[in-house]
Structure 1
């Protein structure tokens, strides 16, 4: 039987209201139920003693009620004090009835399951699942792991489990179509799909729990491979759709690239020259270039992009460069204007905060073609922005944008009958394992060489108890060694306003404590003009110490700035720390970065800071970041459109990726109908992100 042909409404308990809730999870037929997989399991097969509990972990305990009371402190709640001979614990309920309170009487035995948190002198469970147990009977323990499914508002776990039970009964009696060809299943020794699904939904009693929890069980690996394959196929489908569209072939530059190269005070590295050739070749094709250029901080990606832009501009076309922040867009505008002005090329600028008159003028120049090189933020792909002849779109720091935003720029060339070539740049190196998954629709170039003369940044990790010593070291470096320094402020809260307040207070303290230095400040809430003025003064050497928020993470290039202090670095991810550190070491001076942490550090925090101290290699740092935080955090899943995997884990299953890539290409070319079925099975409506 084909489970996707059976509507969800045919299952017991699914009415119109339930159907609507299930649709929010992408569940519309029986196949969707089968492939809505548990994201974790709860172990209700055994009991734990209160004295053994660990805060932050879920546990099951058999306890006796000591007493119950309604508390009105802060918020009305029912508090039930329980014990099991090894310790005391509170059960707290914010939503309860009088009948529930009456049942929680002294001496009542309870079987409770919930997450343990620290309380005032003892542990607490908030809204645990409670079963009332007779003192004379054995507690009703489960004989297998309990699956926990992704749910939505108004949909409870037991509802999903009941629906899954119904479909699993049909799975036992029916036949689930194997979409992978027999030859592939045999070659890679893949087990039975139906058996793997049965196992994952309802792990049998007596199995190795650690193997299930870790995802290393063969059944989980069987499903993970098929899910990774479906994702890879969806990216190949996206690429196939894009390359079928026409693009303007752009021949190599005859004069402009040579002219720009001639005015540079340095030689291009061999890596830059190699990547420029790869881009040249792509631009000459009648279908759109889709190329990702990776390079570590300071490797010269922007100059490579400028060479590509000249190729298009020399043929009479426009180029758009989209940056994720205004300060980075301003930095690009300064760089490109400096390079292109002598070549007679006009650079346009478009960001959200332009005044009405400036915006009107910029839009006119973009529409009539006077602005040949257009630089801006996400404002570039908004309504009302009309390009005259857009042939190349350059997207910087792709992970800050969504796939939809990247693709939206192609619509700006609709009237020409072509789509623009796309060049994606990132200074956040993407581990190969992740690139194979998230960017399977792109060709990849890597600038794996830094310009000659660049010296690695020496990084030291110090507790903030030594802050005064660090301040004096900064003062000595700025005053006696004539270098410039950054002092970066971070806050735990995701609040730009609070970050700015922290920067203002730090700047005030440093200015008072170091009157011999010119201390200034820059943060994200400053007006663009004021921000730009401060950065230009810093670049000109008029400012000794620049206090900043993480707004300086990308795009700031001041060769004389060779010292950076980052306060509370434990609050930032590795990629962000690496980007910040990349603001120093951009000249020929010995450069230093001080990570001033606040104790105590978590194990994760210690690992991040140790990685920063040990290496300047962005790709090694990216691999460690992936290991510590996972792919969703590293890429910014919500923004990139990268699907949330149901069972696969890119880091855990990275050994499967070469196999997946090979099989995906084979299936896509030889059996496209199977590819579509696999994509539908695993991604369903989420495939839409690949259809923009």
Structure 2
């Protein structure tokens, strides 16, 4: 149900906690916190994922089955209610427009009987279907049509969670904007820049985005917020580079790498050799050059770990220690299992420190780091502990750069003491970044790209299918497991409650109905029941860390043959036996994310497959999935994703941490994603830093950039 919002005008501050806001309270505040919404600022930056175009009123006559849209209808009969099977409560009545009549049905909403009076007119929003030749709307949203009270044409649809509706968020945001909580000092884009680029100020942009009068307002607002995010990244990169250029580093001698290459059981690709050469040149530069600060990007399976091993080998030849930090314990353990025996052949001692390392073993490893007996250590955030101190740390490697903030890299870099020379920094990422965004994201880093796959790797065959293929898919799963291989099944939601919250109020007018999402828990139960002789595992992001690590390890070591998961496996371990990836509701994910998930298979010599399952019949969804079917090139896919969806998957999510996947109006949300916009942000950042190197004259902007540098890109607006 949709109704007019209550007019509440109370002065609030941007940093006020949500529980203190009018109309929220403790229970709703707890639900909002699940979306990352803790303050008034978070609420305003929880952007819509799309809009329902309720201004385009449809006529009942001639509407085909499955049409989603707005209808202005007059109630023709008094609602009747009855209990039906399953204990559900059914309310139904009829309504009409100038062309035809329709039956309207609500389940478990008995209160609507008192709302729909014969002769009253409402604007309904829902999916028109036909049963026995009669038109019907099932549980449509509605708003009363009243004289002198025009209804909004565009209604925002937000990322949701259980207990939170788009209507609630919209009402809370309207109250905030009406309170005048936004003022000029909150706007981080300088006035001169806004005028030069024709960008609206913060207050106007927020109103245009949350309470738009038309699509043009949405485009103007999105252009402003896209620029805002790109500008903060460019400034973050610029400030990091300023700091980098002023530091000294350990002198490392040019190493003879032929002994290292002789240890490898394969011939490195040309791309790997070029990257190793780039890194060696940076690390062995004379004292007048700044320490290395380089990112190694490469498609999934391109062999970044070998390049990192060469860097560790080079450092060790000059008695310089290395530290490699991974975002998860299981990934750190995987790196250790790969690097320890390889480098051990060259006499290089490698240790491991994670949260679950036994106390006695950890103490011994820490002592070896302090004395210099250990040449390298691999670990998780546990490496940032005060107890971890190095003798001569000269190389810091972080895997999956986007999981770490600049300050986390810096903290690890200072593990030899503040007075010690700064270590060289190498960051690795399997997330292909479009060239137009590389400077914004990694402006402080030189870039090496692995654009070749190791020999023996086969192309992953990708298929897009509908639900009608379910029996064949199940048979394919069994066949794959019986052949000795393993299967990933990825779902967009963990539980039915999360799936319901994710689809509520979601119809965007593209012909898609409120399809029930596949959930990880239900899918795991179904597969376990279907295949009682096949062990099925389950993993999702909110599991306890130890349980998550155990589920991933069980799959990697063959104790389970099918792993059902959410996108938590996007950054995962190397399981060469995994040859089949099934992604349910594939239209719910961005192209780059689909490609990352696909990269979990095809890591051995066996032929691998990826099946994208979706019943979304919209032309946009079909064309996006077709891109995945046709291409295995991560960089080309990332560029196409940028064009289709905008930079939201590369930059911090505007929705307070909630991933904005799903049915999105690409025409509205891709604006500002072009190369010109990126260049504008880069030029503006350079001009600001040239005139004011520490941004002292722009305190709000400085605060935002410092926050970004501290916590990393996944949690900043």
Structure 1 residue 396 displacement after superposition: 1.4
| Paired position in structure 1 for 2:449 | 446
Give the secondary-structure state (helix, strand or coil) at the position aligned to 1:180: helix
| Paired position in structure 1 for 2:373 | 370
| Paired position in structure 2 for 1:336 | 339
Structure 1 residue 615 displacement after superposition: 2.2
> For the aligned residues, what is the CA RMSD?
5.4
| Paired position in structure 2 for 1:618 | 634
**TM-aligned CA distance change 1:533 to 1:596, over 3 Å:** closer
Question: Could you tell me how far apart the structure 2 residues matched to 1:18 and 1:70 are?
Answer: 46
2:17–2:39: 8 Å Cα contact kept in structure 1? Answer: yes
Question: Could you tell me how far apart the structure 2 residues matched to 1:166 and 1:636 are?
Answer: 21
Structure 1 residue 341 displacement after superposition: 0.7
Question: Could you tell me how far apart the structure 2 residues matched to 1:262 and 1:447 are?
Answer: 21
Structure 1 residue 336 displacement after superposition: 0.9
Alignment partner of 2:178 out of 162, 167, 187: 162
1:109 aligned onto 2:120:
yes
Question: Could you tell me how far apart the structure 1 residues matched to 2:15 and 2:298 are?
Answer: 49
Q: Where do 1:184-199 residues align within 5 Å?
A: 185=196, 190-191=197-198
Look at both structures and tell me which one has the larger radius of gyration over its CA atoms.
1
| Paired position in structure 1 for 2:683 | 663
Give the secondary-structure state (helix, strand or coil) at the position aligned to 1:303: helix
| Paired position in structure 2 for 1:515 | none
Gaps of 5+ in 2: 1-7, 22-37, 159-165, 496-519, 540-545, 661-666, 712-717
Structure 1 residue 578 displacement after superposition: 4.0
Alignment partner of 2:306 out of 288, 295, 303: 303
Give the secondary-structure state (helix, strand or coil) at the position aligned to 2:192: coil
2:125–2:140: 8 Å Cα contact kept in structure 1? Answer: yes
1:503–1:523: 8 Å Cα contact kept in structure 2? Answer: no
Give the count of matched residue pairs.
Answer: 616
| Paired position in structure 1 for 2:261 | 261
1:234–1:687: 8 Å Cα contact kept in structure 2? Answer: no
Question: Could you tell me how far apart the structure 1 residues matched to 2:471 and 2:581 are?
Answer: 14
| Paired position in structure 1 for 2:471 | 465
**TM-aligned CA distance change 1:449 to 1:673, over 3 Å:** closer
Structure 1 residue 342 displacement after superposition: 1.8
| Paired position in structure 2 for 1:236 | 237
Alignment partner of 1:141 out of 127, 146, 150: 150
Question: Could you tell me how far apart the structure 2 residues matched to 1:475 and 1:601 are?
Answer: 29
**Deviation string, structure 1 residues 167-216 (Cα, Å, up to 9, x no partner):** 89xxxxxxx9732398xx3xxxx44757x98698469xx99x45445x2x
**TM-aligned CA distance change 1:633 to 1:180, over 3 Å:** closer
Structure 1 residue 690 displacement after superposition: 2.6
Structure 1 residue 295 displacement after superposition: 0.9
| Paired position in structure 2 for 1:654 | 674
Question: Could you tell me how far apart the structure 1 residues matched to 2:402 and 2:656 are?
Answer: 6
Question: Could you tell me how far apart the structure 1 residues matched to 2:656 and 2:453 are?
Answer: 28
Structure 1 residue 263 displacement after superposition: 2.5
Question: Could you tell me how far apart the structure 2 residues matched to 1:641 and 1:468 are?
Answer: 34
Q: Which has the higher contact order (CA 8 A, sep 6+)?
A: 2
Give the secondary-structure state (helix, strand or coil) at the position aligned to 1:622: helix
1:246–1:419: 8 Å Cα contact kept in structure 2? Answer: yes
| Paired position in structure 2 for 1:14 | 11
**Deviation string, structure 1 residues 217-255 (Cα, Å, up to 9, x no partner):** xx5587357525632443234424542563523424435
Question: Could you tell me how far apart the structure 1 residues matched to 2:563 and 2:79 are?
Answer: 52
1:87 aligned onto 2:96:
no
| Paired position in structure 1 for 2:709 | 690
2:16–2:40: 8 Å Cα contact kept in structure 1? Answer: no
Q: Between Structure 1 and Structure 2, which shows a larger proportion of helix residues?
A: 1
Alignment partner of 1:398 out of 396, 401, 413: 401
1:78–1:101: 8 Å Cα contact kept in structure 2? Answer: no
**Deviation string, structure 1 residues 31-68 (Cα, Å, up to 9, x no partner):** x99x9999877767675557769989774746448446
| Paired position in structure 2 for 1:322 | 325
1:435 aligned onto 2:438:
yes
222-231 or 149-158: bigger deviation: 149-158
**Deviation string, structure 1 residues 482-507 (Cα, Å, up to 9, x no partner):** xx633334455437777776776677
Structure 1 residue 107 displacement after superposition: 3.6
1:350–1:374: 8 Å Cα contact kept in structure 2? Answer: yes
Alignment partner of 1:556 out of 574, 582, 588: 574
| Paired position in structure 1 for 2:297 | 294
**TM-aligned CA distance change 1:262 to 1:180, over 3 Å:** same
**Deviation string, structure 1 residues 129-171 (Cα, Å, up to 9, x no partner):** 546x4xxxx5532698788999997963442453469989xxx
Gaps of 5+ in 1: 1-10, 169-175, 479-483, 511-519
Structure 1 residue 362 displacement after superposition: 3.7
**TM-aligned CA distance change 1:140 to 1:166, over 3 Å:** farther
Q: Compute the TM-score of the two structures, normalised by the length of structure 1.
A: 0.69
Q: Compute the TM-score of the two structures, normalised by the length of structure 2.
A: 0.67
Question: Could you tell me how far apart the structure 2 residues matched to 1:310 and 1:369 are?
Answer: 15
2:486–2:561: 8 Å Cα contact kept in structure 1? Answer: yes
Q: Where do 1:576-591 residues align within 5 Å?
A: 578-579=595-596, 581-582=598-599, 591=606
